[in-house]
Amino acid sequence: MPLEKSWIESANSPETDFPLNNLPLGVFTADGVPRCGVAIGDRILDATGLEEAGLLRLDDAPVLDIPFWNEVMELGPEAWAALRARLHELLREGAPEKDKVAPFLHPLEGAELHMPLAVAEFTDFYAGRHHATNVGTMFRGAENALPPNWLHIPIGYNGRASSVVVSGTDIRRPWGQLKGPNDNAPRFAPSARFDLELELGAIVGQNSDGPVTVTEADEMIFGYVLLNDWSARDIQAWEYQPLGPFQAKATATTISPWIVMRAALEPFRCATPPRDVALLPHLEEPGPMLYDIALEVDLTPEGGSPTTIARTNYREMYYSSAQQLAHHTTSGCPMNVGDLLGSGTISGPTKESRGSLLELSWGGKEPITLGDQTRSFLEDGDTITLRGAAQGAGYRIGFGPCTGKLIPALSDPYAR
Ligand code: MN
């Protein structure tokens, strides 16, 4: 598919994350109030304002009067397609209603961005084979790196929706119980091995009641965000091996501010990698369900300049979000509008493509170099920025940056 041209000139640049082909959904502040918006080139289109003015009508009652996209998700896939079609009609080159739409455009640069959805529940998967193999090798040796179930089900755990935050939110280094000199002497201290995980988040846009197929699951997915699953490796190592899915992961999860709808990624579908063993039929993919999305991680020390510490691609995953969602429902677990599924860390096969510092520094044994500094894990003041984009011919479908700065731990959270 070629670039779709807009009357907003900046949207036609091959450099923008937000051409007319993308139309990602976010929430921003205009006139002091959070409103639903659509990123287009270097502008944000005030979708709430368009609905108020009668230029965008998705249902009998307003659905953009609360600053989240959940009510649009609830309307279902036909309304999602209608939203994209109407936005396209208003923003395409030669649009007859151009003059009516222009007053609803705001500058993207400097805009205050908020959570684009109310997250219902958060589930985090462990479905990248390179990541699981690296971590398993570190903790259990290369022979037993992957547990026997790993090639048959996407392993996951139920996380916390309460600590999902939007890009730009500072992350406070957590305290936790850490392993001491021996197993009988743990200590309570700030995490000294705080880490990032490069992931993609899938947003569930429809409810389910009972098991769904992989095809049905794919149709339930509203869109995707970049996701940083912040991880305290020392808390994780003590609380449970190998996943440590409780306090090690509870501090925060950062998502990028724009939901890239599934329809925008459609031209970039690709198949999951070859499988060593066949999946059981209920998890088999009916077609390509991953996406070719190039991903990068930048680390910027306090007052310093960014270094790209990892480059990889979402196509490296062993399980797609549709397979993860289908697996999630097999127990009869109902899924809800606004559920967020973390893909699992997206590492590639090479050292430069590892999506966490745990892997990049190999558990701290091989610190990485950043200019005149080194890192095994994050230092106070470090900023992590995830970036991702699918590359089309002359345009790209980008996510906008997913950023978070690590700020120092409290002096003692229990001091009175
Ligand atoms: Mn993770």
Q: 């910027």: which residue's tokens? A: 300
Domain 9-114 fold: SH3 type barrels. (2.30.30)
Q: Does pLDDT of 74 surpass 80?
A: yes
Given this model, what pLDDT does residue 242 score? Answer: 63
Ligand 1 center–CA 349 separation, angstroms: 18
CATH of 122-407, one of 3.90.600.10, 3.90.850.10, 3.40.470.10, 3.30.413.10: 3.90.850.10
DSSP string of 206-248?
A: S---S---HHHHHHHEEEEEEEEE-EEHHHHHHHSSS---SHH
Ligand 1 center–CA 45 separation, angstroms: 33
Given this model, what pLDDT does residue 241 score? Answer: 72
pLDDT in tens, 155-204: 999 999 999 999 999 999 999 999 998 889 999 999 999 999 999 999 99
CB 164 within 8 A of CB 255: yes
Whose CA is closest to 170, among 343, 378, 346? Answer: 378
Spell out the domain ranges in the chain: 9-114, 122-407
Catalytic residue among 106, 130, 131, 327: 131
Q: Does pLDDT of 408 surpass 90?
A: yes
pLDDT in tens, 286-338: 999 999 999 999 999 999 999 999 999 999 999 999 999 999 999 999 999 99
Given this model, what pLDDT does residue 398 score? Answer: 98
Report residue 244's pLDDT band, with 50, 70 and 90 as the boundaries.
low
Please say if 88 is a catalytic residue.
Answer: no
pLDDT in tens, 339-349: 999 999 999 99
Report residue 35's pLDDT band, with 50, 70 and 90 as the boundaries.
very high
Ligand 1 center–CA 158 separation, angstroms: 11
> To which H or E segment does residue 388 belong?
strand 383-391
Residues 6 or more apart whose CB falls under 8 angstroms from that of 286 comprise 214, 215
pLDDT in tens, 253-283: 999 999 999 999 999 999 988 898 999 999 9
> To which H or E segment does residue 156 belong?
strand 156-158
Ligand 1 center–CA 205 separation, angstroms: 21
Report residue 243's pLDDT band, with 50, 70 and 90 as the boundaries.
low
352-365: average pLDDT: 96
Ligand 1 center–CA 124 separation, angstroms: 6
Ligand 1 center–CA 126 separation, angstroms: 6
105-116: average pLDDT: 98
Ligand 1 center–CA 130 separation, angstroms: 13
The pTM assigned to this predicted structure is 0.97
